[in-house]
Amino acid sequence: MSNALTDDQKKMLLSHIRDVNDFPQPGIVFKDITPLLASPQALNMLMDHLTERYLGYDLDYVAGIDARGFIFGSILADRLGVGFIPIRKKDKLPFTTITQKYSLEYGFDEIEVHIDAFGEKKGAKVLLIDDLIATGGTAKAANELIKVAGAQCVETCFIIELKFLNGRTLFKDDDIYSVIEY
């Protein structure tokens, strides 16, 4: 496998992503990854692709954003032989945390990570992963949270990017990789 998916591989992944109209509210077309998760062939092909891409990055950790980023992140961390770090919504982690606020179209929200998530290693190399980037607020906050915690976010990876929502523009100097783009 090369670092780019073939057209057939992209078609396979796309065939396992379902559109759900008017979810979670009218006018939204939700990209549902549960058919992808239910297909051992599609999920394995995706994870093989991501494993190959990130093998040479010399990562210390993979961080996943609550909740679907946990799925892809933990599988990838296991395949790469590195630790997995959960980045969760506020008040969901049991130990002392660092918190990052971010804007929503209707206000603010917060995410957090354990204060000792990246251990004693200053500048730990971290890959951030989530299922989808839309407007980018949550992912950008997670990216900043990794930096505040003393680690280095070497790249932010998304399975799906909704390009028409321009979430990528929040990342200016940060590296982003999207497997599938709409």
Q: What is the 3-state secondary structure (H, E, C) of 53-72?
A: HHHHHCCCEEEEECCHHHHH
pTM of the predicted model, to two decimals?
0.95
Tokens representing residue 97 in the block: 């945390």
Residue 149's CATH number? 3.40.50.2020
Q: Which residues pair with 108 in a beta bridge?
A: 103
Range of lowest pLDDT (72-86, 109-123, 144-158): 109-123
The string of pLDDT tens digits covering residues 40-65 is 999 999 999 999 999 999 999 999 99
Q: Please determine, for residue 3, whether its predicted confidence score (pLDDT) is greater than 80.
A: no
The catalytic residues are: 68, 105
pLDDT (tens digit per residue) in 114-135: 999 998 888 999 999 999 999 9
Task: Pull the structure tokens for residue 22.
Answer: 């008017």
In a domain, 98, yes or no: yes
Q: Which two tokens stand for residue 161?
A: 């990017």
Overall domain count for the chain: 1
Contact 56, 50 (CB under 8 A): no
Establish if 154 belongs to a structural domain: yes
Distance CA 94, CA 181 (A): 35
62: in domain = yes
Is the pLDDT score of 141 beyond 50? yes
